[in-house]
Structure 1
Amino acid sequence: MNIIDLFSGAGGLTEGFRSSFNIINHVEMDTAASKTLQLRDAFYFLNQQNQLEFYLQYLQKNISFEELLAYVPINIQEKTLNEKISAETISSIFDSINQKISRQNITTIDGIIGGPPCQAYSTVGRARNSGKKDNDERIYLYRYYIEFLQKYQPHFFVFENVKGLLSFKDQFNEPLLPKMIQEFENAGYRLHYQLIDSSMYGVPQKRERLIIFGTDGTIAPELFFKQLETKKENSITIGQLFQDLPFLHSGETVNSYGQTIPNAFVNRHIRSNSDIPLTQNVARPNQPNDLLIYRQAAIDKSQGHNFRYDELDPSQQTHKNRREFLDRYKVLDKDSVSHTVVAHISKDGHYYIHPDVTQNRSITVREAARIQTFPDDFYFETSRTHAFTQIGNAVPPYLAKKIASTIIDLYN
């Protein structure tokens, strides 16, 4: 099946579709995320050619990104289109995709996947952003998605976004989702939507996201969610997810595995490629006062208590707002799944404190990626901040794989 991937981010949704679908194009406006996508395409090509040594050389900084791409065909390099989808660019984006379709002699586009940036619909900061709705173009990016549906007329689409879309109201103070649904239906698609919790599908993270599945009538869209239900499974805990990772302190980088044998889920889905060493296991440096708070919060968590900011000694309370966000320092529960990883992790790690009090730090890029079920051989460009942002915005690949296999089940 041939698909187009819109608003791709780092490619979490794409990662789950790769094994069963031909991805014609990723379209992503962020430069760092686009480089991540391009690198991942290169990884899959080199792996197929038994030439992963070049990927390894890049990770070890022995060759540059450009030197790595010299081993990759131009059609693989050009799968990623680093472009913002807008009224000014959509025509040229169509032209670029059409060229790839023509070169591959493709006659049918089977699906479109992706979800526009979710910040506009998020419940976080909603009151603060309410006055900006008249000028917030992100609210209506879904209409470009519909233009792609009208242009390529795929059999199905998968549209992913935040839970907040269910309650979001537009600038007319009217619910947006019913209007969106009507516009999708006007474009010729039947659809069904459901709130999906990733932790019910084997992802070690409680992450609720709205999934809209639409079809051109080839199958009934509600069947998608009935079939997806059959793929539910229990998740491993954070303790199990991290058990094979090395010990490190705040500000340290340790890119070698620990001595503990990995959990079976990790061995099968996270560490499946033994030829690639651990990367990006870097913990950000933390301020001394934050480390004191981290330590206390981790001790409290180990004793069954969730730490509150107003419990601190007043001399340690540096934030002006001492009445709200009292859980701004939060420790991961080693005996359960993680709370939702969001893009704010790129700003600080206070909400993602490692459960081991002796390590006394926030989680690393690699640990955050594992919570999202990215495999360890997945590398995020171009900095620690960019990596955290891409991870926080992504669809968990393990959930995406189940979405992809559900589609294959239905169409088979």
Structure 2
Amino acid sequence: MEKFKIIDLFSGAGGLTEGFRNNHFEIIKHIEKDTAASRSLILRDIFYYLKNSNKLDIYNNYLSKELSFEQLLEHAPQTLLDKTINKEICEETIDFIFKEIGDYSDISGIIGGPPCQAYSTIGRAQNKNKKATDGRIYLYRYYIDFLKQYRPQFFVFENVKGLLSFKDADGDLLFPKMHEEFQNAGYEIDYRLINTAEYGVAQKRERVIIFGVPKTNLNLIEKFFKELESQKEGLISVKKAFKGLPKLHSGQENNNYKKVSNSYVDKYFKKNKNVILTQNIARPNRENDLKIYKEIASAKSKGKNLKYNELDPSLITHKHTDKFLDRFKALGWDVPSHTVVAHIAKDGHHYIHPDVNQNRSITVREAARIQGFPDDFYFENSRTSAFVQIGNAVPPILSEKIASAIKNTMRK
């Protein structure tokens, strides 16, 4: 059976790509500007190459620090390493990127979503005066350039829900203008506002999923969204997603699984039975923050989201107690997490572990589970960059369902 050939734009660490990594899709190229995320993409390509070659012990040797990244590269063909193009997509680079991809006439699909910060409702008031010069607003036009260049059978464009209400420098809604530009390129689109918590992800995360096809195949759009709708799952709690991960305290590292699991963990996080647990290290915290964490997590366990101005007065150090009252926030054990965003790279105050006794913020691995990444997914090349990559990603559990919906739609 012939595979669908895919180009992955604005890839990040590859959360959207991850769901397409099966027997029905072939990833031709990833394009990503961030160096650390590009290393994660290369590493993931190597993982699948070694897995399919029955050589996962080499990958595990890298995770165990017995091999350097450079030594690991020697175990993969150059063509595999060249699949990731570490370039920003812009006017100066796009012709180079087209040349690197090559003259494919059979690209089936393009996936990806431009950086979402420009459209986010967070900080929108402060960014209002930057609209005339913020090039991120119009990165979707490069996406359209790829559609014109390769004429795929379908594309998936993911972004924040703020895209739907965002107004450009002229004060007009941007999305209708985008729609018209996609139409002028020969494609029709539709979208759905998706909450990942309804698709087996242990996180409430609303995202716009745009699906587009050539105007000659309009019936495929409705079929795709029906297929995607059929793959909804029940809500997943943080407790269920964290099953089997060890306990630890602030500043500690523990990469030893507990001898417990569940069907959810086995299905999505431990597909590779020889997986080595990594990146399960908790940030060190100041004593005052730990006292706040304990108070916030204790209140959360009783169903209350404690505001900053409601803390014990001895713990309040900020002068302004009328702003950012949710600067400290705990996860709940028995419900999905709130949205994990890239700000987690700066501090963990918004992602306090629900276990009061552990008294810490969540680890990289716990954030990865909330976002739906398998445990054998390793994020290069620091804790900070790992958190950024996780926060910016499309949950792989959702992307797997998107890929399945596309496969079923296109095969029919």
TM-score (norm 1): 0.97
User: 2:295 and 2:131 mapped to 1: Cα distance?
Assistant: 41
Structure 2 letter corresponding to 1:171: A
- Aligned residue in 2 for 1:137: 135
- Segments of 5+ residues of structure 2 without an aligned counterpart are none
Cα contact 1:191–1:222 (8 A) shared by 2: no
Cα contact 2:295–2:311 (8 A) shared by 1: no
- Aligned residue in 1 for 2:357: 358
- Aligned residue in 2 for 1:205: 203
- Aligned residue in 1 for 2:48: 44
Paired residue for 2:12, among 5, 9, 27? 9
- Aligned residue in 1 for 2:249: 249
Length, aligned pairs only: 405
Once the two structures are overlaid, the 10-residue window that deviates more, 283-292 or 88-97, is 283-292
User: 1:18 and 1:357 mapped to 2: Cα distance?
Assistant: 38
User: 2:235 and 2:25 mapped to 1: Cα distance?
Assistant: 26
- Aligned residue in 2 for 1:223: 223
- Aligned residue in 2 for 1:182: 180
- Aligned residue in 2 for 1:25: 29
Q: 2:202 aligned with 1:192, yes or no?
A: no
Within-5 A mapping of 1:5-404: 5-19=8-22, 20-98=24-102, 101=104, 107-216=105-214, 217-220=216-219, 221-259=221-259, 261-404=260-403
User: 1:258 and 1:320 mapped to 2: Cα distance?
Assistant: 43
User: 1:138 and 1:87 mapped to 2: Cα distance?
Assistant: 13
User: 1:145 and 1:405 mapped to 2: Cα distance?
Assistant: 23
User: 1:22 and 1:67 mapped to 2: Cα distance?
Assistant: 26
1:219 deviates by 4.7
TM-score (norm 2): 0.97
User: 1:199 and 1:244 mapped to 2: Cα distance?
Assistant: 21
1:350 deviates by 0.7
Q: Deviations over 1:284-343 (max 9, x none)?
A: 111111100000011111112111101123342223432122121111110011111100
Q: 2:411 aligned with 1:408, yes or no?
A: no
Structure 1 letter corresponding to 2:68: S
Q: Deviations over 1:390-411 (max 9, x none)?
A: 0000000010000000000011
Structure 1 letter corresponding to 2:244: D
User: 1:234 and 1:130 mapped to 2: Cα distance?
Assistant: 39
1:226 deviates by 1.5
Cα contact 1:280–1:364 (8 A) shared by 2: yes
User: 1:21 and 1:266 mapped to 2: Cα distance?
Assistant: 24
Cα contact 2:333–2:354 (8 A) shared by 1: yes
Cα contact 1:241–1:263 (8 A) shared by 2: no
Once the two structures are overlaid, the 10-residue window that deviates more, 356-365 or 296-305, is 296-305
- Segments of 5+ residues of structure 1 without an aligned counterpart are 102-106
User: 1:358 and 1:254 mapped to 2: Cα distance?
Assistant: 16
1:63 deviates by 1.1
Cα contact 2:197–2:236 (8 A) shared by 1: no
Once the two structures are overlaid, the 10-residue window that deviates more, 312-321 or 160-169, is 312-321
Structure 1 letter corresponding to 2:78: I
Once the two structures are overlaid, the 10-residue window that deviates more, 108-117 or 215-224, is 215-224
Note closer, same or farther for the CA distance 1:157–1:281 as it changes in structure 2 (3 Å cut).
Answer: same
- Aligned residue in 2 for 1:104: none
User: 1:248 and 1:89 mapped to 2: Cα distance?
Assistant: 45
Structure 2 letter corresponding to 1:85: I
SS at match of 1:134: coil
SS at match of 1:24: strand
SS at match of 2:159: strand
Once the two structures are overlaid, the 10-residue window that deviates more, 186-195 or 219-228, is 219-228
User: 1:305 and 1:312 mapped to 2: Cα distance?
Assistant: 12
1:223 deviates by 2.2
User: 2:384 and 2:325 mapped to 1: Cα distance?
Assistant: 25
SS at match of 2:224: helix
User: 2:44 and 2:98 mapped to 1: Cα distance?
Assistant: 23
Once the two structures are overlaid, the 10-residue window that deviates more, 336-345 or 235-244, is 235-244
Cα contact 1:2–1:24 (8 A) shared by 2: yes
User: 2:121 and 2:367 mapped to 1: Cα distance?
Assistant: 22
